[in-house]
Chains A and B, each alone.
Chain A
């Protein structure tokens, strides 16, 4: 079955530590995204990548970093510079970058990772 996997489902981190969230897709999609969701809120875009070895900052990139060395993988690192990292993190992918191809912009989401800073 094609889809997006995220691991781990729950993650606990001590203050001052970096932590990396995994995102893998086997849908052969070019574009991948990371979102943050706080309780009772919508999604906010952290980073996105249109193609391998290329990525761009979203609306709230400060304190986060990403890499895109393989088409299937787009890991997110939450660094100690992120002041309030406790949140639900969602990874998504789409055939093409949003805003470029109509319905082919549709993003498909993974199950999410819930990060808690202790």
Chain B
């Protein structure tokens, strides 16, 4: 069965510094997609970045990048130059044929 682990329930980072949010997954499907979403206190889930299991390069989207280590089944999110508006819950998700699983989330707080 698919499973996602986000080992950091809560994280703190100083404004303007970089932070890495961990995500490990377990799936037996050879083809899958990895997604990161941000959930501010308002509740809406905001798509951040996508990585396909066959993609050779790590995905990047502005200040977000994904450190994808396929052999270790790891897909960590790196946020560079943190801003106060980055304070939120962050969820890792994996999709494959006929399944989608979300991790438990990591709460990130950016300190001025």
Contact = CB atoms under 8 A, between A and B. Distances in A.
Interface of A: 33, 35, 40-45, 88, 90, 92, 98-100, 102-103, 105-112, 114
Given A105-B33, A114-B43, 9 more contacts: A41-B105, A42-B102, A88-B43, A90-B45, A99-B99, A102-B33, A102-B50, A107-B35, A111-B42
Interface residues of B, number: 25
Contacts of A40: 104-105
Given A99-B33, A103-B50, A109 B44 contact: yes
Nearest to A42: B102
15 contacts: A35-B102, A43-B91, A44-B102, A92-B45, A98-B33, A99-B32, A99-B33, A99-B96, A102-B33, A103-B33, A105-B35, A106-B47, A108-B47, A109-B37, A109-B45
Contacts, number: 63
A84 to B, nearest CB: 19
Nearest to A98: B95
